[in-house]
Amino acid sequence: MGERESGGKPGLFQVVWKVLLALLVLAGIVCWVLFWWNRFTLTVELEGEESVLHQYGEPFQDPGVRVTLRGTELLMEGRELSHADIMVFGGPNVEQLGRQNVTYHVRFLFWEAEVHRTVTVTDMISPVITLTKAPDFIPARGPYIESGYQAYDNLDGDITDRVKRQELPGKIVYTVVDSCGNPASVERKLPVFKLVEPEITLSGGDYWAIPTGTVFEEPGYKAKDDMDGDLTEKVQVEGEVSWWQTGTYPLVYSVTDSTDNTTTVTRNVEVIPREWPDTQWPEGKTIYLTFDDGPGPYTQALLNVLGAYGAKATFFVTDSGYGNVMREIVAQGHSIGIHTVTHDYGKIYASPEAFYEDLTHMQQIIFDETGVWTTLMRFPGGSSNLVSKRTSPGIMTTLSTSVRDAGYQYFDWNVDSDDAGAAHDAQKVFENVVAGVQNKAVCIVLQHDIHSYSVEAVENILQWGQENGYRFLGLNENSPGFHHDVMN
């Protein structure tokens, strides 16, 4: 094949390239001519005021700027530029008082422009004056005694010492100005005068006496005021009567009327001890059989044995549900005494109030069942118990005296059958009782009629006792108590 000659006509690509190059040069020349002919300018205008006041400490919300490109021939109305590069210098420090400049610098292509705003940070909030509430009335004529006030400013803090106080007819005007010149003013209307205070009348007088162990019941009171009328329901009573412990207890009654006049009176309540009965020792050798925690399912059999031997005993009873047996105990001439309602040590010895609540409750149960109002009692665990120390340290020291002041006679024991301990059969109970009784002229024996083996031992005890010259009697208020050493 023949070869193409190098001196031939240029190709199509070369022609197109040269045409485009020529057009590009022409466009550049046209743009250059238009640029100098149109004279474009970049303007920056503030949104909002050029000079603004701003509250000290409040966040500054910058209004911003508006950027526009204008030409002398083209874009004469201008074109707003939303994507121009805007830099802000000197944003105001709202924690610093005074004038501060904010500069907005804008760049767009070949143009730059800037504008300034003046922000004056100042305090425009007035201080607050707070008046302490004064009474609407005062009890006697005389100069008004200032109830108090306080002034506080958001910038200066406590400015109470700057407050000026001016007394005018019927009022007092309080004024203050903060460091930025913001003023504040309040008025206090002067109170009127009231000459009569409320009156409290105590039913029964200002002295009242109750026996130890008797719950104090308020005798009553009334209160009235010359303006407010009956104020009895507003009387406040302070103080407490420890009715289980002798002494004099002040109760303070106070009432305040609508004009803040207060009247106070005192009633002294004396808790008086009852006279303790004299102890009378029995003649001859005597055994007092005592049974705790019943009645129970074996108590009736016990009563039958006691009846067969003509012996008397004492039953310190609980609320065990055997009311018919309680009646039988009394009907057969035995002594009945208070032990406890529940035998719950934690509840009974929680406080003196709790103990007396249990004591008087059981006393009422015995009375309801038998018609006998007994004052004989035995502490659960005896007066020397230590279990009460867990819930109320020192309570037995209080109770061992206060129950006698309250008219009760408590009994411990000097012979323990140990039927609530290691003795689990009738023979052992019998041996323990005999060993404890020997060489003693008068004995109080502790047993529990809720244990069958303890009840079974009674007949042998009765036989041995009678053979050895002992009488079996029930306790009364004059019987010896054989009180233990109190350990709590």
Identity of the residue numbered 442:
V
Cβ count near 73 (within 10 Å):
10
Structure tokens at 114: 């800037």
Structure tokens at 400: 């061992």
Q: Which of 123, 225, 292, 412 does the annotation list as catalytic?
A: 292
Cβ count near 157 (within 10 Å):
11
Identity of the residue numbered 318:
T
Asked whether 437 and 415 are in contact (CB, 8 A), the reply is yes
Q: State the Cα–Cα distance between residues 116 and 101, nearest whole angstrom.
A: 7
Asked whether 200 and 253 are in contact (CB, 8 A), the reply is yes
Q: Is 448 a catalytic residue?
A: yes
Q: What angle do CA 454, 459, 464 make, to 5 degrees?
A: 110
Identity of the residue numbered 29:
I
Dihedral of CA atoms 49, 53, 54, 60 in degrees, nearest 10, equals 20
DSSP letters of 316-382?
EEE-SS-HHHHHHHHHTT-EEEEEESS--HHHHTS-HHHHHHHHHHHHHHHHHHHS----EE--TT-
Asked whether 183 and 128 are in contact (CB, 8 A), the reply is no
**Rounded to 5 degrees, what are φ and ψ at 263?**
-115, 135
DSSP letters of 444-458?
EEEEETTSHHHHHTH
Q: Which of 123, 448, 449, 451 does the annotation list as catalytic?
A: 448
Cβ count near 434 (within 10 Å):
16
Q: What angle do CA 207, 208, 211 make, to 5 degrees?
A: 145
Phi-psi region of 318 (alpha: psi -120 to 50; beta: other; left: phi over 0): beta
Asked whether 477 and 326 are in contact (CB, 8 A), the reply is no
Identity of the residue numbered 383:
S
Q: State the Cα–Cα distance between residues 265 and 440, nearest whole angstrom.
A: 58
DSSP-derived pairing of the beta strands 442-448 and 286-292 = parallel
Structure tokens at 143: 């100069």
Asked whether 376 and 382 are in contact (CB, 8 A), the reply is no
Q: Is 292 a catalytic residue?
A: yes
Residues marked as catalytic: 292, 448
